[in-house]
């Protein structure tokens, strides 16, 4: 078939190829007052970050205004420069509408195995938050708990690409408001699981509207965010050529929980840090 007969709309867009280092640098320059000023963010431990492709596995915090990706990427680019891309595995929803190109250009890629493998094998750094919305809306009472909701696909992604897992933990993001409940019962009662495939309808209390079930949207408090990047984990070196996926996942979460407990012990006051 002649290529002129192909409708461009039918040609899949390679998310990885859309990353634009110059554009990314400009965007993060604009975000710096929010990251370094409003949230006073710190990223520690990048000195041990491995060369080449790596899968960064983190806890996810902050609800609708989660800052984990901007904080990590800003710290990474400050340390290594903009020659090495940072990609973030993301929901398909952000790739619809007029903002799709913006997100692709700063490194967001759709969360599917093909994109993950292409990004990792190209030498890129890929961030994944296995807990997703389950983790980002965890109740305040469990704000310092590592819980991926049983999701272990990240281990297979690292194994298939032959790259190390780099765990990172962050504290402070879940203090942006008081998170009361994931609202799984509410989503089920309203049949959102059937209508929108939404399994949660988070309930929180914040500023300026007080009680909120996602809407009205409360503003995040200026909580100090501290992120610790941990030593890379070479899965085959640690667990052999045919590792048990659940065993690797349990080990990753254990390492992360110990590091998060340490950050929690160092933290003097909520929000203030």
**208-to-25, 172, 214, 224 alpha-carbon distances in Å:** 32, 19, 13, 19
Is position 6 within any domain? no
Range of the domain at 257: 11-176+221-266
Q: What is the mean pLDDT of residues 135-157?
A: 97
Residue 57, domain CATH: 3.40.1130.10
pLDDT digit string (tens) for 81-123?
999 999 999 988 888 888 999 999 999 999 999 999 999 999 9
Instruction: Place 203 in a pLDDT band, splitting at 50, 70 and 90.
Output: very high
Is position 273 within any domain? no
Closest CA to 150 of 133, 131, 169, 165: 131
167 and 35 in a single domain? The answer is: yes
64 and 94 in a single domain? The answer is: yes
Supply the pTM of this predicted model.
0.92
The three-state secondary structure class of 166 is strand
Is position 1 within any domain? no
Is position 236 within any domain? yes
Is position 94 within any domain? yes
Is position 73 within any domain? yes
The number of distinct structural domains making up the chain is 2
């Amino acid at each position: 078939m002649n290529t002129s007969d192909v409708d461009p709309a039918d040609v899949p867009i390679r998310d990885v190829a859309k990353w634009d280092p110059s554009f990314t640098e400009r965007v993060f320059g604009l975000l710096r007052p929010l990251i370094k000023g409003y949230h006073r963010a710190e990223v520690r431990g990048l000195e041990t970050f491995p060369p080449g492709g790596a899968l960064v596995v983190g806890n996810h915090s902050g609800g609708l205004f989660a800052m984990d990706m901007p904080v990590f990427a800003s710290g990474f680019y400050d340390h290594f420069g903009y020659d090495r891309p940072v990609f973030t595995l993301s929901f398909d929803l952000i790739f619809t509408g007029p903002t799709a190109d913006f997100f692709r250009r700063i490194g967001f890629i759709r969360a599917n195995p093909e994109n993950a493998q292409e990004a990792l094998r190209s030498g890129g750094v890929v961030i994944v938050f296995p807990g997703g919305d389950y983790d980002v809306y965890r109740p305040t009472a469990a704000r310092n708990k590592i819980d991926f909701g049983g999701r272990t696909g990240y281990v297979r992604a690292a194994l298939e690409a032959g790259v190390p897992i780099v765990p990172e933990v962050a504290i402070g993001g879940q203090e942006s408001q008081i998170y009361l409940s994931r609202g799984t019962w509410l989503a089920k009662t309203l049949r959102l699981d059937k209508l929108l495939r939404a399994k949660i309808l988070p309930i929180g209390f914040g500023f300026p509207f007080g009680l909120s079930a996602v809407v009205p949207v409360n503003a995040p408090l200026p909580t100090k965010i501290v992120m610790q990047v941990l030593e890379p984990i070479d899965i085959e070196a640690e667990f052999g050529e045919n590792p048990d996926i659940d065993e690797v996942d349990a080990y990753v979460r254990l390492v992360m929980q110990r590091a998060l407990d340490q950050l929690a012990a160092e933290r003097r006051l909520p929000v203030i840090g």
